Amino acid sequence: MTTPDGAAALGYRLAAEWEPHAATWLAWPHRQATWLGDFAEIPPVFEKIARLLAGYEPVKVVASGAVLDLARGRLGGVGNVELVDLPTNDAWLRDTGPVFLVPKSGERVGQSPGPAAVGWEWNAWGGKYPPWDDDARLARSICRRLGLRVFEGGLVLEGGAIETDGEGTLLVNHRCVEDPARNPGVTRARLEQVLCERLGVDRVLWVGGELAGDDTDGHIDQLARFVAPGRVVAARQPDRSDPNHESLEANLQLLRSLVDAQGRRLEVIPIDIPPRFIFRGTQLPASHLNFYVANGVVAAPVFLGPTDEAALRTLEECFPGRTIEPVACNELIRGRGALHCITRDQPAVFLGGDAVTG
């Protein structure tokens, strides 16, 4: 069922990524033109990530036609992995997939509205990579498969552009939302109203920052991430000669001044990112912030360089009780994204003691 109504008024909220999952969604890569270098090196990375996550929770991989056959050749028969026949233009499912919602009250036996999702409008990061018709339909197609209520977003918005603590606070980089290539003529006040209504959040914290080579115009999942209510890790570049240094320092200072929906001033923990990460003369947006939190595990991007060890230590301190699994993303970043960019978490919804997974 598709509805334009606000999710907040009907009792929904946006869950934090560390809450229990029903599944992780991926889309199998096939659009070779969006990757620098040898595309043949990319599918094995997706296979590795799917197999890793399947050790912790169900994994659903979207593809169709010949692309589905390729995915089946690598993942067919792998336990806890399901192949889902849906067409895509590209593999960045964080941005193209549905943004799942859960009932605000957690457990309301006989009263819960059940699981739902928001389907935002999609134009390939401001019209950068046509065609995008299949990806524009993907969120709603997944929701139909799951039988979910779908709220129409009413804005162009990518999943990597938003980050939540699960307690009513939303982090957003204004550069990739308050953008004339995405939402022309829409004021910040209206953007904020729609985000709160559709996602069931209470406060939007607007930040900035950017990474050289990032064609998303500054997705928040490369820059600042909640690791617990009131706690944020943020990208830092101490190398003053790196083009990322100045904007990341300004973002750190801004984050330290912000107060969340519960009245807490944010605790900000810096994580240094690789300096001047270059592939064939192009600086790429390599960031340890692009981690993915699943059931019992944090898949953490590493780049086989000097910043890896400290980043892994920080994540281990931030997620006690979870296994920290380093994943080399030197090939994946050639598509200008990493682990969080290719994954979409589907939260588990608990009603009357039973998990509703869609």
pLDDT tens digits, 57-82: 999 999 999 999 999 999 999 999 99
Pair 83, 76: CB distance under 8 Å: yes
The predicted model gives 300-327 an average pLDDT of 98
Annotated active-site residue 341? The verdict is: yes
Write out the H or E segment, with its range, that includes residue 135.
helix 133-146
Range scoring the smallest mean pLDDT among 90-104, 110-124, 158-172, 225-239: 110-124
Report the candidate in 237, 229, 231, 167 with the shortest Cα–Cα distance to residue 201.
Answer: 167
CATH number for position 163: 3.75.10.10
The predicted model gives 217-238 an average pLDDT of 98
Residue 90: domain span: 2-356
* Whole-number pLDDT of residue 104: 86
pLDDT for residue 22 is more than 50: yes
Report the candidate in 295, 321, 261 with the shortest Cα–Cα distance to residue 14.
Answer: 261
**What is the torsional sign of CA 20, 314, 45, 92?**
positive
Pair 303, 291: CB distance under 8 Å: no
Strand partners, 345: 24
Domains held by the chain: number: 1
From 143, 318, 329, 341, the catalytic residue: 341
pLDDT digits (tens, 9 = 90+) for 147-157: 999 999 999 99
Residue 108 — very low, low, confident or very high, per pLDDT cuts 50/70/90? Answer: very low
- Overall pTM surpassing 0.85 (yes/no): yes
pLDDT higher for 54 or 7? Answer: 54
pLDDT averaged over every residue in the chain? 94
% residues pLDDT > 70 (the chain): 94
Cα angle 127, 255, 165 (rounded to 5 degrees) comes to 75
The neighbour count for residue 146, using CB atoms within 10 Å, is 19
Find tokens 């300096």 and name the residue.
Answer: 275
* Whole-number pLDDT of residue 195: 97
pLDDT digits (tens, 9 = 90+) for 156-176: 999 999 999 999 999 999 999
Report the candidate in 65, 61, 64, 54 with the shortest Cα–Cα distance to residue 21.
Answer: 54
What is the rounded CA–CA span in Å between residue 89 and residue 80?
25
pLDDT for residue 295 is more than 60: yes
